[in-house]
Amino acid sequence: MDNRPVEPHIFVIFGATGDLMQRSLLPALLNLAGRGHIRRESIILGTARSAQYNDVSFRKLAYESFAKAGISLDPGMTKWCDECLFYQSIGDEKLEDFSALSERIKALERELNSTGNRVFYLALPPIAFPSTIERLGEVGLSRSPGWTRLVVEKPFGRDLESARALNQLIHRNFDESQIYRIDHYLGKETVQNLLVFRFANPIFESLWNRDRIHSVQITVAEELGIGKRAGYYDRAGALRDMVQNHLTQLLTLVAMEVPVAFDSDSIRFEKIKVLRAIAPIMDDQVVLGQYGRGSANGKEIPGYLEEPGVPDDSRTETFVAMQIDIANWRWHGVPFYVRTGKRLPERITQIIINFKRAPVSIFDPTGRCDMHFNSLNMMLQPDEGFDLCFEMKALGEPLKLQTQRLHFRYAEAFAPLPDAYETLLLDIITGDQTLFVHANEVEESWRLYAPVIEQKLPIHTYRAGTWGPQEAEKLIKREGHVWANS
């Protein structure tokens, strides 16, 4: 049990009738309350444009969300919902709507005798971030008698310029120490474990460099398509939706130097150094794809252009494969291959570290006796754990090598893993920024990818249910590699 002290506070969620709130935030808040992390004096104030809700109907909406998520409430939790969930409409988001919100917050704080600690969580489409932040500043909600924290969902900007503009706007109203830019991958237990794995186990750390590592592969594959999210996704694409944030976070955690301490400033500083060392990404290091019609498990799957809401001539990429080179002493010459896509054969997030082969095979000087890489396969989801692969003598004669795996699975060692949002929400209310993205980190990552986006590279079609376009295989084959497809 996490015993960090949680001070009473008011947790204001913009976009409280939306999908993220219902699917992720409400269940996570409920679980935190159930585990005693959210104090009785703390309240959750949902806010959205809709005037159709009030406190009572908002609670009803919350009960429906819990039912959809398969959560059954005991009487204690029902009481918590009735006492702690509130709703306030922000109508057309005019100044007077925000003044009314401010009055409601203060009234609730007076009722609860609260000290004025506030979280503002923007669970909104990115287009609404700037006006909401500005309004919060205008009505004086960016400062309070207690602490105030602003949580911003991804994607943070569309390119370097818009990310900078958003950072500047935020910094006019809030201090960086108040900002929590969310990347939910950082809340995943297996992602956090990357730091422990690397920095608590010197046996690996001493091999973690260009002398011993041949190449690194990072794959975030999704079986699903875009669902009902065409409005958002078609403007974003896989580079903005997944690579600029989730995959880049994984890459920096694998590649960073040892931080001087396990605290937010030291860790974020080292991650920024990795981003700054990445060499400009050339056109021939990137493959973009879009899924066409295909099949999986015997079922026909529509192509991206056939998904509801996607324009017929959309050039949005649903697949990216990329080679990234980190030009520093630790990694020079070690290619990092990253890959993500929708409608791939399975859902899997994995990092594979391929160690260098023995320089000479004494088992068969002709090279016919193939030696594989020793590799460390870190499965971040869904079958969380890792495998260390090494060569053994197969039984019998003639001499043959066989790859075997040392194997660890979270499910065999621990209780079910906590949800990423639970971890991140608890960090927000306890004021720990370690798992959140710093302003400089976002800008450095846009500096890398914005030129790639501007290039308008060709989009290769791949059949839904396959591992992406052939060009992705060619990209990695150039240097004699192959993707490890699970």
Residues that bind ligand BG6 (CB under 6 A): 222, 241, 349
Rounded to a whole number of angstroms, the minimum distance from the CB of residue 353 to ligand BG6 is 20
Tokens representing 98 are 């925000």
Q: Are 351 and 250 in contact (CB under 8 A)?
A: yes
DSSP 143: -
Tell me how far apart the alpha carbons of residues 464 and 448 are, in angstroms, rounded to a whole number: 29
> Could you tell me the smallest distance in angstroms from the CB atom of residue 250 to ligand BG6?
11
C-alpha torsion angle, residues 337, 410, 182, 242 (rounded to 10)? 30
- Reported as type and span, the H/E element at residue 58 is helix 55-68
Minimum separation from the CB atom of position 220 to ligand BG6 (A): 6
Exposed, middle or buried, 169 (CB in 10 Å: 0-12/13-18/19+)?
middle
| Six-digit token string for 480 | 């004699």
Which one, 245 or 354, has the nearer CB to ligand BG6? Answer: 245
Q: What is the nearest approach in angstroms of ligand BG6 to the Cβ of residue 222?
A: 5
Residue 31 or 114 having the CB closest to ligand BG6: 31
Let me know: does 237 contact 245? Beta carbons within 8 Å: no
Residue 460 pairs in a beta bridge with 289
Residue 184 appears among annotated catalytic residues: no
Identify the CA nearest to 181 among candidates 136, 155, 151, 158.
151
DSSP annotation of 92 reads: T
d(CA 31, CA 25): 10
Residue type at 165?
Answer: A
Which ranges in 174-255 belong to alpha helices (H)? 189-199, 202-205, 230-238, 248-255
Cβ distance to ligand BG6 smaller for residue 349 or 377: 349
Please name which of 132, 140, 80, 79 lies closest in space to residue 105, comparing C-alpha atoms: 140
Question: Which CB atom, from 222 or from 441, has the smaller least distance to ligand BG6?
Answer: 222
Min dist CB 242 to ligand BG6, Å, is 6
Which one of the listed residues 184, 214, 246, 438 is annotated catalytic? 246
- Closer residue to ligand BG6 in complex, CB, 241/270: 241
Residue closer to ligand BG6 by CB (options 215, 349) is 349
Active site residues: 246
